[in-house]
Amino acid sequence: MKEQDQERKKIISVSNLSKVYDMGVIKVHALRSIDMNINEGEFTAIMGHSGSGKSTLLNIFGCLDVPTEGKYWLDGADVSHLNKNQLARMRNKKIGFVFQTYNLLPRTSALENVELPLLYNPEIRRKERKERAMNTLELVGLTDWSEHFPNQLSGGQQQRVAIARALVNDPVIMLADEPTGNLDTRTSFEVMEIFQELNGRGITIALVTHETDISKFAARNILFRDGRISKETIIKNIKNAREELEKLPPEDEL
Amino acid sequence: MNLLNLFVIALRSLNKNKIRSLLTMLGIIIGVASVIAMLAIGQGSRDSIENQISGLGSNVIMVFPGATFRGGVATAAGSAQSLEMDDLEAIRVNCPSVKYLSPVARAGGQIIAGSNNWNSSIRGVYNEYLDIRNIEVESGSRFAETDEKRASKVCIIGQTVAENLFDEYTDPVGEKIRINKIPFTVIGLLKEKGQGGMGEDQDDIIYAPFSTVQRRMRGDRQNIQQIYISAVSEEKIELASEEIDELLRTRKNISKYEDPPFNIRTQTEIVEMFTSTSNTMMVLLAGIASISLIVGGIGIMNIMLVSVTERTREIGLRMAVGARGKDILRQFLLEAILLSLLGGLIGAAFGILSSKLFVAIMNWPVTVSSYSVVLAFSFAFIIGVFFGWYPAGKAARLIPMDALRYE
Ligand SMILES: Nc1ncnc2c1ncn2[C@@H]1O[C@H](COP(=O)(O)OP(=O)(O)OP(=O)(O)O)[C@@H](O)[C@H]1O
Ligand SMILES: [Mg+2]
């Protein structure tokens, strides 16, 4: 689907990136000198065993954590040594993050959950904020659910609200850490369908998963092992989530 | 994040835990209510004292015979017979800072007019007494020059006395009444004065010439119970009092170092005496109230710490989508301030209400001053900031990843 285009903009670029958790007695090497790039429009799946450093990498990508060593360029800017407030700015403007556990604010409507990142952007006024949140909810097919609280939504719907929240600030990249980890097969596929659709619109996505089923929806698979990239595969026949959904047995037979 | 949004978030979070918020506010509510009520009571009693003292008249100096006057209590005042009519005249002649003076003779008794009777107090005074105390005659007249010399049986009566002795169609002026069986002619009706500082009726009074009361009712020719004097101006009160003291000492052959058999009190001294005691009371009461405010503040801090812990994941999430430490600090600080201000508001309402209740039920003199409300509010605000700062700062310093992982 995507040929290697040298002209394409690098959204993420890391070189010699390491992360060491100093636990006093022992030092945990979560990432060991990683070099990798993610280009604009790519859909990357990061795979690997538990503890291989996938989340650590994604958190650094998402400016939620800082590397111990190495360089990290996000959208052309060096973000390796930013302070707390600058990192917050980056997260607010450039990053959309989707968590395994949705992390929606309880007793807060779907719409207001989606608005949240824009609330921390002083340039965006109330009217624009509401509009953008509503449009993004429409994108994930939840227009009719905008006034519902998270506890009135299914897991899949909650994750779609979370995806809308990650999209609303128009990020340069969407990062998702096991977004289907808490969902059944059908709902997982529905979520992947949304990711594929968004990617089709040109949105860059990096997703962590340990299910091979899920990684096959992404064009590029990177396998981690002990904090290192052990293998990178370009998937030839990418699975289409909508088709896979149709192949599943009808719901009433389950 | 702008203030309005922060405000909405804070209000919502308080609304989600209504009971908890209310209980937390209770300390502040009680604190603010008691600050306001205490200050209102303090201010009220001070006002009533001031009222009463100013009701004494303007630039007043009082001279009592005999025993000393200590701590506001006259010990057997008037028992020593030391003030005489000659002293009075000497003061008039020799003290340039004295404007008016009048002896006072007090009596009480039953007053009868036709078939009505009433008990009241009677004061024998000069016309000057009315000037000293700013007492005005509404209808009729003051005493005539000759009334004092002849000890005429005439009197000027207050409104309450008039109402109880005569029906509304009768003009009391010119009517005959009997005071302790002695017949008097009413020559004047006083202007209504209303309640005094202690709630007493200032219109329940009868004035007669001094000599009339002194001789006919008290059977005394020489000794004066009290002299009422006014100084020429407020600045001259002290001077006048010194002049009187010097004169009386000379007349009675008493050196500066001895205790005199008379007692001089100026209006300023009386004001100071009462306000200093009411000041101490007020400081004490306000102190107790402030302690409950501080206890309320600790309650707020406690609940804010709980709230920060409970909402660690929320804080993490907010940070993950771009909130800075500053934003989180503001959010929790505003919540604490809102708690204390809301408590302050409810407390102020309670404070004012209970002050009014004091007035209504116990007839206490209570004055709610706006400054006490402002004071209590600012105090509540400061407590909100002070005790909210630590929990809010704790929230702001959280690391996003750790907060998100918090169980
Ligand atoms: N905050 C932390 N403090 C100390 N060690 C940590 C911390 N976070 C991660 N680690 C360690 O770093 C290594 C990589 O963890 P990471 O969470 O990146 O793994 P993962 O690939 O996401 O695993 P999983 O599939 O189970 O989510 C692990 O050994 C883990 O114990
Ligand atoms: Mg992980």
CB B132 within 8 A of CB B229: yes
User: What pLDDT sits at residue B115?
Assistant: 87
Between B286 and B63, residue with greater pLDDT: B63
What are the residue ranges spanned by the domains of chain B?
3-52+273-404, 83-260
Q: For ligand 1, what atom is nearest to the CA of residue A52? A: 21
Tokens linked to B8: 């909405």
Residue A78 belongs to a domain: no
- Domain with A173 in it: what CATH number? 3.40.50.300
- How many whole angstroms separate alpha carbon A249 and alpha carbon B4? 50
Q: Render pLDDT for B321-353 as a digit per residue (tens, 0 to 9).
A: 999 999 999 999 999 999 999 999 999 999 999
Which residues make beta-bridge pairs with B306? none
Binning pLDDT at 50, 70 and 90, where does residue A5 land? low
Region A186-198: what's the mean pLDDT?
95
- How many whole angstroms separate alpha carbon B162 and alpha carbon B137? 13
Output Rg (C-alpha) for chain B, integer angstroms: 32
Distance B402 CA to ligand 1 centre (A): 12
pLDDT for residue B234 is more than 60 = yes
Q: Render pLDDT for A50-104 as a digit per residue (tens, 0 to 9).
A: 999 999 999 999 999 999 999 999 999 999 989 999 999 999 999 999 999 999 9
Percent with pLDDT over 90 in chain A: 89
DSSP letters for A103-121:
-PPTTS-HHHHHHHHHHT-
DSSP letters for A4-47:
--TTSPEEEEEEEEEEEEE-SS-EEEEEEEEEEEEETT-EEEEE
What's the mean pLDDT when you consider all of chain A?
93
The residue among B6, B321, B326 with the most chain A CBs within 10 A of its CB, best to mutate, is B321
Region B233-260: what's the mean pLDDT?
86
Q: What is the tally of structural domains in chain A?
A: 1
Region A147-170: what's the mean pLDDT?
96
**A59 and B CB contact within 8 Å:** yes
Residue A178 belongs to a domain: yes
Give A23 to chain B, closest Cα distance, Å: 15
> Which residue of chain A comes nearest to B406, CA vs CA?
A103
Give chain A positions within 8 Å (CB) of B320. 62, 64, 91, 97, 103
**B325 and A CB contact within 8 Å:** yes
Distances (CA, A) of A233 to A44, A49, A61, A174: 10, 16, 20, 20
pLDDT for residue A169 is more than 60 = yes
Give B395 to chain A, closest Cα distance, Å: 14
B171 secondary structure, DSSP code: -
> Which residue of chain A comes nearest to B322, CA vs CA?
A92
Phi-psi region of A23 (alpha: psi -120 to 50; beta: other; left: phi over 0): alpha
Cross-chain Cβ contact B321/A117 below 8 Å: yes
pLDDT for residue A238 is more than 90 = yes
Distance B110 CA to ligand 2 centre (A): 101
Residue A57 is part of which domain span? 41-66+83-253
Q: To the nearest 10°, report the CA torsion of B173, B177, B179, B183.
A: 110
What's the mean pLDDT when you consider all of chain B?
86
CB B134 within 8 A of CB B59: no
- Which of B5, B318, B401 has the CB atom closest to A64's CB atom? B401
Closest C-alpha among A143, A74, A156 to residue A114: A143
Cross-chain Cβ contact A116/B321 below 8 Å: yes
Cross-chain Cβ contact B320/A169 below 8 Å: no
Its ipTM equals 0.94
Cross-chain Cβ contact B1/A119 below 8 Å: yes
A237-246, B142-151, B267-276 — which is least confidently predicted?
B267-276
Q: Between chain A and chain B, how many beta carbons pairs sit less than 8 Å apart?
A: 58
Tokens linked to B15: 């609304």
Largest CA distance in chain B: 103
Give A130 to chain B, closest Cα distance, Å: 13
**B243 and A CB contact within 8 Å:** no
**B400 and A CB contact within 8 Å:** yes
- Which of A88, A105, A107 has the CB atom closest to B322's CB atom? A88
The residues, any chain, with a CB within 8 Å of residue B371's CB and separated by 6 or more, are none
- Which of B2, B16, B401 has the CB atom closest to A59's CB atom? B401
Closest C-alpha among B214, B237, B22 to residue B102: B214
pLDDT for residue B69 is more than 60 = no
Distances (CA, A) of A241 to A54, A117, A189, A244, B301: 23, 28, 6, 5, 51
Give A247 to chain B, closest Cα distance, Å: 36
- How many whole angstroms separate alpha carbon A89 and alpha carbon A101? 23
pLDDT for residue B149 is more than 80 = yes
74-93 of A, contacting B, C-beta below 8 A: 84-85, 88-89, 91-93
Least distant ligand from the CA of B406? 1
Q: What angle do CA A99, A100, A106 make, to 5 degrees?
A: 70
Cross-chain Cβ contact A85/B314 below 8 Å: no
Residue A205 belongs to a domain: yes
Binning pLDDT at 50, 70 and 90, where does residue B284 land? confident
pLDDT for residue B282 is more than 80 = no
**A99 and B CB contact within 8 Å:** yes
Give chain B positions within 8 Å (CB) of A169. 321-322
Give chain B positions within 8 Å (CB) of A165. 321
Tokens linked to A131: 């509009």
Characterize B180-198 residue by residue with b for buried, 16 or more Cβ atoms within 10 angstroms of its Cβ, and e for exposed.
eeeebebbbbbeebeeebe
pLDDT for residue B78 is more than 60 = no
- Which of B5, B327, B401 has the CB atom closest to A65's CB atom? B401
Q: What angle do CA A154, A155, A160 make, to 5 degrees?
A: 95
Residue A201 belongs to a domain: yes
User: What pLDDT sits at residue B321?
Assistant: 96
Distance B94 CA to ligand 1 centre (A): 103
User: What pLDDT sits at residue B73?
Assistant: 47
Distance B407 CA to ligand 1 centre (A): 16
User: What pLDDT sits at residue B197?
Assistant: 55
Q: Render pLDDT for B166-185 as a digit per residue (tens, 0 to 9).
A: 988 888 899 999 999 899 99
CB B259 within 8 A of CB B80: no
Characterize A67-98 residue by residue with b for buried, 16 or more Cβ atoms within 10 angstroms of its Cβ, and e for exposed.
bbebebbbbeeebbebebeebbbbbbbbbbbb
DSSP letters for A44-55:
EEEEE-TTSSHH
Residue A225 belongs to a domain: yes
Q: Render pLDDT for B292-316 as a digit per residue (tens, 0 to 9).
A: 888 889 999 999 999 999 999 999 9
- How many whole angstroms separate alpha carbon A143 and alpha carbon A162? 14
Binning pLDDT at 50, 70 and 90, where does residue A6 land? low
Region A21-25: what's the mean pLDDT?
91
Around ligand 1, the residues with Cβ closer than 6 Å are: A 21, 23, 28, 30, 48, 50-56, 210
User: What pLDDT sits at residue A192?
Assistant: 96
